[in-house]
Structure 1
Amino acid sequence: MQKPIEVTNLDIAFGGKAMKILPAYSSIPGDFKREGNKWNSFISRWFFNGLSKSDWPKPKPEVSGKLAMLNIQACLSDFEPKHEHKIAGAAYLASQWFE
């Protein structure tokens, strides 16, 4: 399992770390490349509507929930990856980091 990395407020505001956080598009399982699973729905809802702290999923024991959420936020705010890569990759990471 890939662990979340350190990100700064600048990474979240202006992007730039998504390609260091997201797995390569070719390595993301197909289930995450199309709508329909709970993680894709969660990430799409976050991307289009925002997310309140009460909506945060429960992190797995070995993962810092706050750091994982910051990593996903940094990916979603970055302009570099294509939208499909951003959503699929963030959903795949969420499935690894949260219960």
Structure 2
Amino acid sequence: MTDLDAVIHVPARLRIMTTLDEALEEGDEMTFPALQKLLDMTAGNLTTHLAKLADAGYVELTKTFAGRKPVTYVGITLTGRAAFRAYRRQLLELLGGTSS
């Protein structure tokens, strides 16, 4: 058995990846405040964990403007979705469940 992905295994990052995998279709994004509200995390905590996920290539952050107001969009990459699903399969196998 291979080791679980240490980047995803941190509870806060696991919550982020689970939410993005379930909430977004391929190529979709959500705003940072929408994700923050879904997860009930502080902006600083979410920013820190998103940076780790972005460094691993699992999420993509797009910064833009709506008028003069900055807006950050968060999306899960194909690499991130594959890594999350592999992590999920490994965890289910470890727990004796199915990987459907």
TM-score (norm 1): 0.32
Q: Which has the higher contact order (CA 8 A, sep 6+)?
A: 1
Q: Please say which structure displays the higher CA radius of gyration.
A: 2
